[in-house]
Structure 1
Amino acid sequence: MEIPSDFNLPWCKAILSSNISNLENSAAVVHRPDNPVSNSMFGQTLYTPTAIRAQLSFRRPTSEPDSIKPWENCFLLSIGSGIDGKTGRAHGGFNSLILDQMTGMTASLVSASEAPATATMTVDYKAPIDTPGVILVRGWPVERQGRKTWVRARIEDGEGKLLAGGKALFIDARPVKL
Protein backbone atom coordinates (compact mmCIF):
# COMPACT_ATOMS: atom_id res chain seq x y z
CA MET A 1 0.00 0.00 0.00
CA GLU A 2 1.22 3.46 -0.85
CA ILE A 3 1.57 5.74 2.18
CA PRO A 4 0.12 9.23 1.60
CA SER A 5 2.77 11.96 1.52
CA ASP A 6 1.04 13.69 4.46
CA PHE A 7 2.69 11.06 6.67
CA ASN A 8 6.23 11.72 5.40
CA LEU A 9 7.11 13.12 8.83
CA PRO A 10 9.90 11.48 10.86
CA TRP A 11 7.59 10.57 13.76
CA CYS A 12 4.99 9.04 11.38
CA LYS A 13 7.68 7.07 9.55
CA ALA A 14 8.94 5.73 12.90
CA ILE A 15 5.44 4.54 13.84
CA LEU A 16 4.77 2.99 10.43
CA SER A 17 8.09 1.15 10.42
CA SER A 18 7.52 -0.31 13.90
CA ASN A 19 5.58 -3.43 14.92
CA ILE A 20 2.18 -2.66 13.34
CA SER A 21 -0.43 -4.87 11.69
CA ASN A 22 -3.67 -4.51 9.72
CA LEU A 23 -2.51 -1.31 7.97
CA GLU A 24 -5.38 0.16 5.92
CA ASN A 25 -6.18 3.35 4.10
CA SER A 26 -9.42 4.12 5.96
CA ALA A 27 -10.97 6.18 3.17
CA ALA A 28 -10.75 3.18 0.83
CA VAL A 29 -12.37 0.87 3.43
CA VAL A 30 -15.36 3.20 3.91
CA HIS A 31 -16.09 3.08 0.18
CA ARG A 32 -15.93 -0.74 -0.16
CA PRO A 33 -19.28 -2.17 -1.29
CA ASP A 34 -18.93 -5.12 1.13
CA ASN A 35 -18.60 -2.83 4.19
CA PRO A 36 -21.75 -3.37 6.37
CA VAL A 37 -21.28 -0.03 8.21
CA SER A 38 -21.86 3.01 6.00
CA ASN A 39 -19.85 5.60 7.98
CA SER A 40 -21.19 8.25 5.60
CA MET A 41 -20.14 10.96 8.10
CA PHE A 42 -16.57 10.12 7.16
CA GLY A 43 -17.02 8.98 3.57
CA GLN A 44 -19.23 11.83 2.39
CA THR A 45 -18.45 14.66 4.80
CA LEU A 46 -14.99 14.39 6.34
CA TYR A 47 -12.77 12.67 3.77
CA THR A 48 -12.12 15.84 1.78
CA PRO A 49 -9.01 17.86 0.86
CA THR A 50 -9.79 20.37 3.65
CA ALA A 51 -11.04 18.14 6.50
CA ILE A 52 -9.50 14.65 6.93
CA ARG A 53 -7.03 14.75 4.07
CA ALA A 54 -5.63 11.26 4.71
CA GLN A 55 -6.16 8.50 7.27
CA LEU A 56 -4.28 5.31 7.99
CA SER A 57 -5.59 2.73 10.46
CA PHE A 58 -3.52 -0.02 12.06
CA ARG A 59 -3.07 -2.12 15.17
CA ARG A 60 0.05 -2.38 17.32
CA PRO A 61 1.09 -3.79 20.71
CA THR A 62 -0.06 -1.60 23.60
CA SER A 63 1.86 -0.53 26.65
CA GLU A 64 -1.27 0.66 28.45
CA PRO A 65 -1.47 -1.22 31.78
CA ASP A 66 -5.30 -1.17 31.92
CA SER A 67 -5.78 -2.78 28.48
CA ILE A 68 -7.51 -6.17 28.49
CA LYS A 69 -5.97 -7.02 25.11
CA PRO A 70 -2.29 -6.95 24.09
CA TRP A 71 -3.01 -4.49 21.24
CA GLU A 72 -4.33 -1.00 20.57
CA ASN A 73 -6.06 0.45 17.52
CA CYS A 74 -4.47 3.51 15.94
CA PHE A 75 -5.28 6.18 13.36
CA LEU A 76 -2.85 8.56 11.78
CA LEU A 77 -4.90 11.53 10.59
CA SER A 78 -3.84 14.40 8.37
CA ILE A 79 -6.31 17.19 9.06
CA GLY A 80 -6.98 20.50 7.39
CA SER A 81 -8.73 23.74 8.23
CA GLY A 82 -12.13 22.37 7.19
CA ILE A 83 -12.59 21.07 10.75
CA ASP A 84 -11.71 24.34 12.49
CA GLY A 85 -13.75 25.89 15.26
CA LYS A 86 -11.35 28.79 15.76
CA THR A 87 -8.96 29.51 12.88
CA GLY A 88 -6.02 27.12 13.16
CA ARG A 89 -7.68 24.89 15.78
CA ALA A 90 -9.88 21.83 15.37
CA HIS A 91 -13.44 22.20 16.62
CA GLY A 92 -13.98 20.46 19.97
CA GLY A 93 -16.78 18.43 18.41
CA PHE A 94 -14.26 16.98 15.97
CA ASN A 95 -12.23 15.68 18.92
CA SER A 96 -15.33 13.96 20.31
CA LEU A 97 -16.23 12.54 16.91
CA ILE A 98 -12.76 11.07 16.38
CA LEU A 99 -12.65 9.63 19.91
CA ASP A 100 -16.11 8.09 19.37
CA GLN A 101 -14.99 6.58 16.06
CA MET A 102 -11.85 5.11 17.63
CA THR A 103 -13.57 3.74 20.71
CA GLY A 104 -16.41 2.31 18.61
CA MET A 105 -14.04 0.51 16.25
CA THR A 106 -12.14 -0.89 19.21
CA ALA A 107 -15.33 -2.04 20.96
CA SER A 108 -16.43 -3.71 17.73
CA LEU A 109 -13.21 -5.72 17.57
CA VAL A 110 -13.56 -6.87 21.18
CA SER A 111 -17.25 -7.74 20.98
CA ALA A 112 -17.34 -9.01 17.37
CA SER A 113 -20.43 -6.81 16.93
CA GLU A 114 -20.61 -4.83 13.65
CA ALA A 115 -21.71 -1.58 15.23
CA PRO A 116 -22.06 -1.48 19.01
CA ALA A 117 -23.91 1.62 20.21
CA THR A 118 -22.26 4.36 22.23
CA ALA A 119 -23.99 4.47 25.63
CA THR A 120 -21.80 7.14 27.20
CA MET A 121 -18.52 8.88 26.51
CA THR A 122 -16.47 11.29 28.60
CA VAL A 123 -14.00 13.57 26.83
CA ASP A 124 -11.20 15.47 28.50
CA TYR A 125 -9.81 18.33 26.40
CA LYS A 126 -6.16 18.94 27.27
CA ALA A 127 -4.70 21.10 24.48
CA PRO A 128 -5.84 22.48 21.12
CA ILE A 129 -5.37 20.43 17.97
CA ASP A 130 -3.59 22.65 15.48
CA THR A 131 -4.73 22.65 11.87
CA PRO A 132 -3.46 21.84 9.40
CA GLY A 133 -1.50 19.01 10.95
CA VAL A 134 -1.10 15.32 11.65
CA ILE A 135 -2.32 13.57 14.80
CA LEU A 136 -2.19 10.08 16.25
CA VAL A 137 -5.33 8.55 17.78
CA ARG A 138 -5.05 5.43 19.95
CA GLY A 139 -7.74 3.25 21.51
CA TRP A 140 -7.67 0.15 23.74
CA PRO A 141 -10.31 -1.91 25.55
CA VAL A 142 -10.31 -1.76 29.35
CA GLU A 143 -13.29 -3.93 30.33
CA ARG A 144 -15.78 -6.37 28.82
CA GLN A 145 -18.89 -7.54 30.67
CA GLY A 146 -21.77 -9.28 28.91
CA ARG A 147 -22.85 -6.98 26.05
CA LYS A 148 -20.88 -4.01 27.47
CA THR A 149 -17.41 -2.90 26.42
CA TRP A 150 -15.45 0.00 27.95
CA VAL A 151 -12.72 1.60 25.85
CA ARG A 152 -10.19 4.37 26.43
CA ALA A 153 -8.70 6.55 23.68
CA ARG A 154 -6.24 9.41 23.24
CA ILE A 155 -5.49 12.01 20.60
CA GLU A 156 -1.78 12.90 20.57
CA ASP A 157 0.59 15.07 18.61
CA GLY A 158 3.85 13.85 17.08
CA GLU A 159 5.67 14.16 20.39
CA GLY A 160 3.16 12.07 22.33
CA LYS A 161 1.52 15.11 23.97
CA LEU A 162 -2.06 14.39 25.04
CA LEU A 163 -4.47 16.69 23.19
CA ALA A 164 -7.72 14.98 24.20
CA GLY A 165 -8.66 11.73 25.88
CA GLY A 166 -11.80 9.83 26.56
CA LYS A 167 -13.50 6.77 27.93
CA ALA A 168 -16.61 5.27 26.39
CA LEU A 169 -19.12 2.52 27.11
CA PHE A 170 -20.54 0.56 24.18
CA ILE A 171 -23.50 -1.82 24.18
CA ASP A 172 -23.82 -4.67 21.66
CA ALA A 173 -27.18 -5.15 20.00
CA ARG A 174 -29.35 -7.87 21.53
CA PRO A 175 -29.07 -11.14 19.65
CA VAL A 176 -31.90 -11.64 17.17
CA LYS A 177 -34.37 -14.30 18.35
CA LEU A 178 -35.49 -16.67 15.65
Structure 2
Amino acid sequence: MSTDLPTTTAIQKYEPFSKNPFTNSLLKDRSYTHHTRDPTPNLDPNTATTTPTSWQEMQDGNPFFRVTCCCSSAVQATLFLSRTPTQSRTPSTEAEAEAEAEGHLLLHVGPGITGQTGIAHGGFLATALDEVCGNLVAVAGLDGGCGMFTAQLGVVYRRPVFVPEGGTVIVATARVVGVEGRKVFIEGVVRDGDGVVCTTAEAVFVRKRAGDSAVL
Protein backbone atom coordinates (compact mmCIF):
# COMPACT_ATOMS: atom_id res chain seq x y z
CA MET A 1 0.00 0.00 0.00
CA SER A 2 1.14 3.53 -0.67
CA THR A 3 -0.35 6.97 -0.18
CA ASP A 4 0.60 10.24 -1.80
CA LEU A 5 -0.29 12.58 1.07
CA PRO A 6 0.54 11.21 4.58
CA THR A 7 -0.59 14.33 6.43
CA THR A 8 -3.26 15.43 8.89
CA THR A 9 -5.54 16.09 5.90
CA ALA A 10 -5.08 12.50 4.74
CA ILE A 11 -5.85 11.16 8.21
CA GLN A 12 -9.07 13.17 8.29
CA LYS A 13 -10.04 11.77 4.90
CA TYR A 14 -9.46 8.19 6.10
CA GLU A 15 -11.53 8.48 9.27
CA PRO A 16 -15.06 7.84 7.94
CA PHE A 17 -13.82 4.91 5.86
CA SER A 18 -11.74 3.26 8.58
CA LYS A 19 -14.83 3.17 10.82
CA ASN A 20 -16.86 1.18 8.26
CA PRO A 21 -16.02 -2.56 8.12
CA PHE A 22 -16.50 -2.83 4.35
CA THR A 23 -14.39 0.18 3.38
CA ASN A 24 -11.86 -0.57 6.11
CA SER A 25 -11.22 -3.96 4.49
CA LEU A 26 -10.35 -2.13 1.26
CA LEU A 27 -8.04 0.23 3.14
CA LYS A 28 -6.19 -2.72 4.65
CA ASP A 29 -5.67 -4.44 1.30
CA ARG A 30 -2.02 -3.69 0.55
CA SER A 31 -2.44 -4.37 -3.16
CA TYR A 32 -4.13 -0.97 -3.55
CA THR A 33 -2.48 2.41 -3.95
CA HIS A 34 -4.21 5.19 -2.00
CA HIS A 35 -4.73 8.52 -3.76
CA THR A 36 -5.69 11.17 -1.25
CA ARG A 37 -5.30 13.72 -4.04
CA ASP A 38 -7.40 13.47 -7.16
CA PRO A 39 -5.46 11.43 -9.76
CA THR A 40 -6.95 13.45 -12.61
CA PRO A 41 -4.63 16.29 -13.71
CA ASN A 42 -5.41 19.72 -12.19
CA LEU A 43 -7.91 18.29 -9.67
CA ASP A 44 -7.41 18.22 -5.90
CA PRO A 45 -10.27 17.14 -3.62
CA ASN A 46 -8.48 18.66 -0.63
CA THR A 47 -9.46 22.08 -1.97
CA ALA A 48 -12.88 20.96 -3.18
CA THR A 49 -14.82 23.31 -0.92
CA THR A 50 -12.77 26.35 -1.95
CA THR A 51 -14.77 28.63 -4.21
CA PRO A 52 -12.93 29.15 -7.53
CA THR A 53 -11.86 32.75 -8.04
CA SER A 54 -11.80 32.78 -11.83
CA TRP A 55 -13.44 31.25 -14.87
CA GLN A 56 -10.19 29.43 -15.67
CA GLU A 57 -10.13 27.81 -12.22
CA MET A 58 -13.69 26.63 -12.82
CA GLN A 59 -12.63 25.19 -16.18
CA ASP A 60 -9.61 23.35 -14.75
CA GLY A 61 -11.13 22.11 -11.52
CA ASN A 62 -14.05 19.77 -12.34
CA PRO A 63 -16.36 22.15 -10.44
CA PHE A 64 -19.51 20.01 -10.63
CA PHE A 65 -18.08 17.14 -8.60
CA ARG A 66 -15.27 18.89 -6.72
CA VAL A 67 -17.13 22.09 -5.81
CA THR A 68 -20.89 21.80 -6.27
CA CYS A 69 -21.21 18.25 -4.89
CA CYS A 70 -18.66 18.70 -2.10
CA CYS A 71 -20.26 20.28 0.95
CA SER A 72 -21.23 19.35 4.49
CA SER A 73 -24.61 17.97 3.41
CA ALA A 74 -23.52 16.09 0.28
CA VAL A 75 -20.04 14.67 -0.52
CA GLN A 76 -18.14 15.10 2.73
CA ALA A 77 -15.01 13.04 1.97
CA THR A 78 -13.57 10.98 -0.88
CA LEU A 79 -10.65 8.59 -1.26
CA PHE A 80 -9.59 6.80 -4.45
CA LEU A 81 -7.86 3.41 -4.40
CA SER A 82 -6.32 1.81 -7.48
CA ARG A 83 -4.72 -1.46 -8.41
CA THR A 84 -3.01 -2.54 -11.61
CA PRO A 85 -1.67 -6.04 -12.37
CA THR A 86 1.91 -4.77 -12.42
CA GLN A 87 1.62 -4.09 -8.68
CA SER A 88 1.21 -7.79 -7.92
CA ARG A 89 2.47 -9.65 -10.99
CA THR A 90 3.75 -9.18 -14.52
CA PRO A 91 0.99 -9.32 -17.16
CA SER A 92 1.69 -11.34 -20.28
CA THR A 93 0.82 -8.49 -22.63
CA GLU A 94 0.31 -4.73 -22.52
CA ALA A 95 -3.35 -5.23 -23.45
CA GLU A 96 -3.76 -7.58 -20.49
CA ALA A 97 -2.29 -4.95 -18.18
CA GLU A 98 -4.68 -2.31 -19.50
CA ALA A 99 -7.68 -4.61 -19.20
CA GLU A 100 -7.13 -5.45 -15.53
CA ALA A 101 -6.88 -2.01 -13.96
CA GLU A 102 -9.31 -1.54 -11.08
CA GLY A 103 -10.28 1.38 -8.88
CA HIS A 104 -12.55 2.18 -5.94
CA LEU A 105 -13.91 5.63 -5.13
CA LEU A 106 -14.86 5.73 -1.45
CA LEU A 107 -17.41 8.42 -0.65
CA HIS A 108 -18.77 9.67 2.66
CA VAL A 109 -22.08 11.28 1.75
CA GLY A 110 -24.94 13.06 3.48
CA PRO A 111 -28.65 13.61 2.72
CA GLY A 112 -27.77 16.34 0.24
CA ILE A 113 -27.29 13.65 -2.44
CA THR A 114 -30.80 12.22 -2.03
CA GLY A 115 -33.75 12.47 -4.40
CA GLN A 116 -36.60 10.78 -2.60
CA THR A 117 -36.28 11.15 1.15
CA GLY A 118 -33.50 8.94 2.46
CA ILE A 119 -32.59 7.48 -0.95
CA ALA A 120 -29.58 8.50 -3.06
CA HIS A 121 -30.49 10.34 -6.27
CA GLY A 122 -29.92 8.19 -9.34
CA GLY A 123 -28.16 11.06 -11.09
CA PHE A 124 -25.66 11.30 -8.27
CA LEU A 125 -24.91 7.58 -8.45
CA ALA A 126 -24.32 7.91 -12.20
CA THR A 127 -21.98 10.82 -11.47
CA ALA A 128 -20.05 8.73 -8.94
CA LEU A 129 -19.66 5.96 -11.51
CA ASP A 130 -18.46 8.41 -14.16
CA GLU A 131 -16.01 9.89 -11.66
CA VAL A 132 -14.46 6.56 -10.64
CA CYS A 133 -14.12 5.53 -14.29
CA GLY A 134 -12.36 8.80 -15.10
CA ASN A 135 -10.04 8.45 -12.13
CA LEU A 136 -9.13 4.91 -13.16
CA VAL A 137 -8.41 5.93 -16.75
CA ALA A 138 -6.07 8.67 -15.47
CA VAL A 139 -4.22 6.40 -13.02
CA ALA A 140 -3.81 3.61 -15.57
CA GLY A 141 -2.44 6.08 -18.13
CA LEU A 142 -5.00 5.02 -20.72
CA ASP A 143 -5.59 8.56 -21.98
CA GLY A 144 -2.13 8.82 -23.51
CA GLY A 145 -1.75 12.23 -21.90
CA CYS A 146 -4.56 13.64 -24.07
CA GLY A 147 -7.50 13.18 -21.69
CA MET A 148 -10.73 11.21 -22.24
CA PHE A 149 -14.41 11.75 -22.94
CA THR A 150 -17.25 9.66 -21.54
CA ALA A 151 -18.84 8.33 -24.74
CA GLN A 152 -21.37 5.95 -23.17
CA LEU A 153 -22.58 5.25 -19.64
CA GLY A 154 -25.37 2.71 -19.23
CA VAL A 155 -26.63 2.48 -15.64
CA VAL A 156 -28.89 -0.16 -14.04
CA TYR A 157 -30.41 0.66 -10.64
CA ARG A 158 -30.86 -2.66 -8.83
CA ARG A 159 -31.46 -1.58 -5.25
CA PRO A 160 -31.89 1.79 -3.56
CA VAL A 161 -28.90 3.29 -1.76
CA PHE A 162 -30.24 4.44 1.59
CA VAL A 163 -28.77 7.60 3.09
CA PRO A 164 -29.68 8.25 6.74
CA GLU A 165 -29.76 11.75 8.20
CA GLY A 166 -26.30 11.26 9.69
CA GLY A 167 -24.80 10.20 6.35
CA THR A 168 -23.30 6.98 5.09
CA VAL A 169 -20.41 5.49 3.13
CA ILE A 170 -20.76 4.20 -0.43
CA VAL A 171 -18.20 2.75 -2.83
CA ALA A 172 -18.11 3.21 -6.60
CA THR A 173 -15.89 0.65 -8.33
CA ALA A 174 -14.55 0.58 -11.89
CA ARG A 175 -12.71 -2.17 -13.74
CA VAL A 176 -11.25 -1.93 -17.24
CA VAL A 177 -12.47 -4.89 -19.30
CA GLY A 178 -11.04 -4.00 -22.69
CA VAL A 179 -9.18 -1.50 -24.83
CA GLU A 180 -9.74 -1.09 -28.58
CA GLY A 181 -7.86 1.73 -30.23
CA ARG A 182 -8.95 4.95 -28.54
CA LYS A 183 -11.85 3.24 -26.75
CA VAL A 184 -11.67 1.97 -23.18
CA PHE A 185 -14.43 -0.35 -21.96
CA ILE A 186 -15.20 -0.26 -18.26
CA GLU A 187 -17.60 -2.04 -15.89
CA GLY A 188 -18.80 -0.16 -12.83
CA VAL A 189 -20.58 -0.98 -9.58
CA VAL A 190 -21.92 1.05 -6.66
CA ARG A 191 -22.09 -0.70 -3.29
CA ASP A 192 -23.64 0.59 -0.12
CA GLY A 193 -21.90 0.71 3.25
CA ASP A 194 -22.59 -2.99 3.79
CA GLY A 195 -20.96 -3.94 0.50
CA VAL A 196 -24.28 -4.77 -1.19
CA VAL A 197 -24.40 -4.14 -4.95
CA CYS A 198 -27.01 -1.45 -5.64
CA THR A 199 -26.10 -0.05 -9.06
CA THR A 200 -24.18 -1.43 -12.04
CA ALA A 201 -22.92 0.22 -15.20
CA GLU A 202 -21.12 -0.30 -18.49
CA ALA A 203 -19.10 2.61 -19.80
CA VAL A 204 -17.08 3.49 -22.87
CA PHE A 205 -14.43 6.20 -22.64
CA VAL A 206 -12.76 7.62 -25.75
CA ARG A 207 -9.27 9.10 -25.78
CA LYS A 208 -9.21 12.67 -27.06
CA ARG A 209 -7.48 13.31 -30.35
CA ALA A 210 -4.09 14.92 -29.92
CA GLY A 211 -4.28 18.65 -30.45
CA ASP A 212 -8.08 18.77 -30.52
CA SER A 213 -9.59 18.29 -27.08
CA ALA A 214 -13.15 19.08 -28.19
CA VAL A 215 -13.58 16.32 -30.79
CA LEU A 216 -14.38 12.67 -30.15
- Regarding TM over 0.5, the answer is yes
Give the structure 2 partner of residue 43 of structure 1.
66
Structure 1 residue runs without a partner (length 5+): none
The residue matched to 1:111 in structure 2 has which SS?
A: coil
Superposed displacement of residue 124, structure 1: 0.6
Structure 2 residue runs without a partner (length 5+): 1-9, 39-44, 51-58, 86-95
Q: Which of residues 175, 179, 189 in structure 2 aligns to 1:154?
A: 189
Q: Contact 2:101–2:136 at 8 Å: present in 1 too?
A: no
Specify the code of the residue in structure 2 equivalent to 1:28: N
How many residue pairs align between the two structures?
172
Evaluate the alpha carbon distance shift between residue 173 and residue 68 of structure 1 in structure 2; reply closer, same or farther with a 3 A threshold. closer
Q: Contact 2:99–2:179 at 8 Å: present in 1 too?
A: no
Distance (whole Å) between structure 2 residues aligned to residue 3 and residue 17 of structure 1: 17
Larger Rg: 2
Q: Which of residues 76, 79, 86 in structure 2 aligns to 1:56?
A: 79
Give the structure 2 partner of residue 88 of structure 1.
118
- 1:17 aligned to 2:28? yes
Give the structure 1 partner of residue 46 of structure 2.
28
- 1:127 aligned to 2:145? no
Evaluate the alpha carbon distance shift between residue 68 and residue 56 of structure 1 in structure 2; reply closer, same or farther with a 3 A threshold. same
Give the structure 2 partner of residue 6 of structure 1.
16
Give identity over the alignment, percent. 26
Give the structure 1 partner of residue 205 of structure 2.
170
Evaluate the alpha carbon distance shift between residue 60 and residue 176 of structure 1 in structure 2; reply closer, same or farther with a 3 A threshold. closer
Distance (whole Å) between structure 1 residues aligned to residue 121 and residue 82 of structure 2: 26
Distance (whole Å) between structure 1 residues aligned to residue 35 and residue 47 of structure 2: 11
Distance (whole Å) between structure 1 residues aligned to residue 187 and residue 60 of structure 2: 22
Evaluate the alpha carbon distance shift between residue 61 and residue 11 of structure 1 in structure 2; reply closer, same or farther with a 3 A threshold. farther
Superposed displacement of residue 138, structure 1: 0.8
Bigger strand fraction = 1
Bigger helix fraction = 2
Distance (whole Å) between structure 2 residues aligned to residue 94 and residue 48 of structure 1: 14
TM-score, scaled relative to structure 2: 0.70
Distance (whole Å) between structure 2 residues aligned to residue 114 and residue 78 of structure 1: 31
TM-score, scaled relative to structure 1: 0.84
